[in-house]
Amino acid sequence: MGRELQKRKRRSSRATVRMPNRRKKALNPVGNGIIAKNWNKKETLSQNYSRFGLVAKLGKTTGGTAPGNRATLTASSHDPLAVQSADQGLLKVSEVRVERDSQGRITRVLRGSNPLNDPLNELDDDDDDDDEPQQEGERQEDGAREGGEDDGEGQRAAKPEVLRALEMEANRPTEKVPRKQSERELEWLRRLVERHGQDVAAMARDMKLNPMQQTAADIGKRLRKAGLLAS
């Protein structure tokens, strides 16, 4: 049956529809005015985005991970101050020096100053430092701050004009525009008040004047906003 159907297709006078691989129309984004104004139709999407200072592809997966490939995370990967074990999960047998009393019981174990690799252990030695190294450290931090500010200004100057315009547009404060009731909505509310007065529950049950099944709370809110219902 399949072979006869293929023969019939070959004898048909209807031409096979084949979609061309190349794009007939050049890309012309109209979503953002800044990008549409600086868009070059002779360049590809990646070329335009590179010129704007944007990223065309993220280069990594944006969704979640598969249930079978979910990696186990340790506490140290989340908390940088978490105490890390020195054996890295492997049991290591070693010898230590101990102190015993007269009866032979262990009273103290002699080991290193930081057996658990505690990162806060190094902060105990700060009191022994002199004032001069602290002053030098403060000078270095001030210089690093000044250098960081200069680098930030240089990075701002090195940004493309389109990227800076997009950042200014994104940081622009937006004003909240209050919603206004249309004339058609006010007419609908007046008709409800003429038939049911102040009975909002009856308005909600009216199938002819309330075909969209607005709730009593919603109708009351609209009436109070229009000044047709006493608060």
How large a percentage of the chain has pLDDT more than 90?
Answer: 22
Q: Hey, is 198 helix, strand or coil?
A: coil
Q: What would the pLDDT profile of 37-59 be if each residue is shown by its tens digit?
A: 999 888 888 888 889 988 887 77
Do residues 27 and 41 make contact, with C-beta atoms less than 8 angstroms apart?
yes
**Residue 228 or 123, more confident:** 228
Please check the confidence at residue 175 and state whether its pLDDT lies above 60: yes
Q: 117 pLDDT band (50/70/90 cuts)?
A: low
**Residue 65 or 73, more confident:** 65
Overall average pLDDT of the 198-221 stretch: 94
In a 10 Å sphere around its CB, with 0-12 CB exposed, 13-18 middle and 19+ buried, how is residue 111 labelled?
exposed
The pLDDT, as a whole number, for residue 204 is: 95
Cα gap 58→45, rounded to integer Å: 14
What are phi and psi for residue 5, nearest 5 degrees?
A: -65, -40
Least confident of 30-34, 160-164, 212-216: 30-34
Residue type, 25: K
Please check the confidence at residue 21 and state whether its pLDDT lies above 80: no
Q: What would the pLDDT profile of 145-160 be if each residue is shown by its tens digit?
A: 555 455 555 555 678 8
Which residues have C-beta within 8 Å of that of residue 56, sequence separation ≥ 6? 45, 46, 49, 50
The pLDDT, as a whole number, for residue 76 is: 45
Supply angle C-alpha 12, 15, 20, rounded to 5: 155
The pLDDT, as a whole number, for residue 71 is: 47
* CA 4 to chain CA mean position, Å: 57
Q: Ranked by mean pLDDT, which of 13-17, 140-144, 148-152 comes out on top?
A: 13-17
Cα gap 190→221, rounded to integer Å: 14
Do residues 200 and 229 make contact, with C-beta atoms less than 8 angstroms apart?
yes
Least confident of 55-69, 158-172, 202-216: 55-69
How large a percentage of the chain has pLDDT more than 70?
Answer: 60
The pLDDT, as a whole number, for residue 191 is: 95
Please check the confidence at residue 75 and state whether its pLDDT lies above 50: no
Token duo for residue 205: 């049950």
Do residues 228 and 190 make contact, with C-beta atoms less than 8 angstroms apart?
yes
Residue type, 224: R
